[in-house]
Structure 1
């Protein structure tokens, strides 16, 4: 995805959704915005991801979600919940979860954003939110695929996925 040059931006910080909109536009990613929410589509190496940010001004929280286009059939949800538990042990920021009503897998994290003169997000913060979500979705997408379609147990899937990526730098 690559870092953007701060000079490309006409301000150091902006309202959270404004900064994310600027960030998405600078990458040329398709995105739609409504008041306190923005959704973008990003092509990863495994699949297309939907990135969604929701700003909760009253709480000073920016919730950021990455959807790796994985729907889990009812009969596989137990295995995926186990997989999510093992995967989440590997994460420092954010977590994967499975929406029980729809079977949609997602990565979610939140940032507390507070400022004396109103909440704002810097380019560096926007980049960290976006890139960490994409990186974790890319890193663990094969794990979920191994469990869902490859016949592997959650432990086998994690071991296989982490071994395959060890040689890459």
Structure 2
């Protein structure tokens, strides 16, 4: 395990080692297996399960964030429509709904490198994790408006994504 205090922004380590260091430095509860790490993080709206899976043969680090949202069968059509509207706005990653379980998640992947020195820097780890959390936080109200507020997906996005000016 890496010690966060010993690494600089430009230092690099194997992807799961670096994420373990990052999670540990934030004091997040996590568990680790050989090629996977899972953490729990409290956001503004809900708690998230963060999961990273390293596929060495493909040199891809898949990162998933699961907000505590389950979608009942009768609400899935509206959520699928919301997912389509949201995903067309995203530059990296996407939201999806697992059809069997109704679990909502955000997923993106990073191609780390195909050689033996496939590593992740601290800055890359931070970007990977924080961008997933940021997108979940940004769009969580949209899903709540669709699921519980009786709004159409378009209305939910318009209501949830209003830009504010200044500070209160």
Shift of the alpha carbon at 1:130? 0.1
Equivalent position of 2:89 in the other structure? 90
1:133 aligns with 2:132: yes
Q: How far apart in 2 are the matches of 1:115 and 1:121?
A: 13
Q: CA RMSD in A?
A: 1.7
Mapping of 1:113-152 within 5 angstroms?
113-114=112-113, 116-152=115-151
In structure 2, relative to structure 1, the CA distance for the partners of 1:143 and 1:29 (3 Å cut) is same
Shift of the alpha carbon at 1:89? 1.2
Structure 1 gap segments, 5+ residues each? 1-6
Equivalent position of 2:79 in the other structure? 80
Q: How far apart in 1 are the matches of 2:93 and 2:106?
A: 7
Equivalent position of 2:66 in the other structure? 67
Equivalent position of 2:52 in the other structure? 53
TM-score norm. by structure 2 comes to: 0.92
Residue correspondences, number: 163
**For 1:92, what is the secondary structure of its paired residue?**
coil
Structure 2 gap segments, 5+ residues each? none
Deviation sequence 1:92-126 (CA, Å, 0-9, x none): 11000000010000000000011644210000100
Q: How far apart in 2 are the matches of 1:48 and 1:124?
A: 23
Deviation sequence 1:55-83 (CA, Å, 0-9, x none): 00000000000001100000000000000
Equivalent position of 2:15 in the other structure? 16
Q: How far apart in 1 are the matches of 2:100 and 2:166?
A: 37
